[in-house]
Amino acid sequence: MQPSGSFKIRGIGNLMKSAVRHNKGRPLHFYCPSGGNAGLACATVARMIDHEVTIVVPRSTSQLLINKLRHLGAKVQQVGENLAAADLYLKKELIGCDPNAFYVPPFDHPLIWVGQETLLGEVEQQMVEKGGFDAVVCSVGGGSMLIGIQQTIKKRVAMTGEKPPMVLAVETRGAESLNASLLAGRHITLDKITSIATSLGVSRVAERAYELAQEPNVKSVVLSDAEACLGCVRFADEERILVETSCGVSLAAVYNGNMRKALGATMDDEEWAKMKVVVSVCGGSDVSLERIKEYRERYGAEV
């Protein structure tokens, strides 16, 4: 529901705003490697503040997203097998040749995390009268949303001494770089991304995300692409809102019982019914009515 179609503008906007503030009127050209929504956020902000912007997307990015980027006035180049390859090209071939270049990473920057903190910060304010909340569900790609959420929780706990709400970090199979690191007990890089949820397709999560995910209030689950797709289908049916699979996977965890298994396994039904759970409906622009129809046809019978 936010400009650029996902939560991403919170973090990326914060970083870009700070860059402009420190640059004292000199022109900047923003460069962002992105599978989609980070690029859309970067292009949206660049347009708002009237700066140049180039987005390098990997080959896995859909034409739908590329069209949306071009429509915002961004220069778009499609290079590389995955995000890491697009990033390498951007740094080597573009940034070095442009004295006005400013690099906008898609997720791994403290100023991005501070921007993402506003997400749960606003929810906290909205939930004050309801006595707060017990758990938060969010998807994990590079981990900036999770970092923003957990940092907000930690600040509140430090201030009030309250028990931290639980956090469920959700990924799709084939993009489970956080879950695989937690299982391995070290920060690992996936060989390749095989999930349909390209916005979660980061082969190595931010170090800070891996660090925070080891805190006792955070749990990690992995769901299939099929479940993520049907999460989008059901959300469209029930709430009349289109979201992409990277968001649908968090909704699927709620719909199909994974959330209860992860967070409420020891609770009886009565206890569980009292749980107030916040789900980050992070959105995403890589979706259309046509796509929802395909998901329903392809996976409807399977799950």
Ligand X SMILES: *Cc1c(COP(=O)(O)O)cnc(C)c1O
Q: Which residues bind ligand X (CB under 6 A)?
A: 6, 8, 37, 107, 139-146, 199-200, 244, 246-247, 282-284
In b/e form, how buried is each residue of 9-27, taking b as 16+ CB within 10 angstroms?
bbbbbbbbeebbeeeeeee
CB nearer to ligand X: pick between 31 and 210: 210
3-class DSSP state for residue 84? helix
CB nearer to ligand X: pick between 200 and 277: 200
Q: Give the nearest distance from C-beta 257 to ligand X in angstroms.
A: 21
Q: Give the nearest distance from C-beta 78 to ligand X in angstroms.
A: 18
Element spanning 71, H or E? helix 63-71
CA–CA separation, 131 and 140 (whole Å): 27
CB nearer to ligand X: pick between 144 and 150: 144
Q: Can you list the pairs that 55-58 forms with residues at least 24 positions away whose Cβ atoms lie under 8 Å? A: 55/31, 56/31, 56/32, 56/80, 56/86, 56/87, 56/89, 56/90, 56/94, 57/33, 57/86, 58/82, 58/83, 58/85, 58/86
CA–CA separation, 9 and 240 (whole Å): 23
CB nearer to ligand X: pick between 33 and 284: 284
Q: Give the nearest distance from C-beta 24 to ligand X in angstroms.
A: 30
CB nearer to ligand X: pick between 140 and 259: 140
CB nearer to ligand X: pick between 115 and 264: 115
Measured in whole angstroms, how far is the alpha carbon of residue 42 from the centre of its chain? 14
Q: Give the nearest distance from C-beta 22 to ligand X in angstroms.
A: 24
Q: Give the nearest distance from C-beta 125 to ligand X in angstroms.
A: 22
Q: Give the nearest distance from C-beta 249 to ligand X in angstroms.
A: 9
Q: Give the nearest distance from C-beta 234 to ligand X in angstroms.
A: 17
Q: Nearest Cα to 93, choosing from 70, 81, 77, 82?
A: 77
Residue carrying the six token digits 């925070």? 212
CB nearer to ligand X: pick between 199 and 258: 199
- Provide the pairing of β-strand 29-33 with 52-57: parallel
Give the chain's count of helices (H) and strands (E): 13, 8
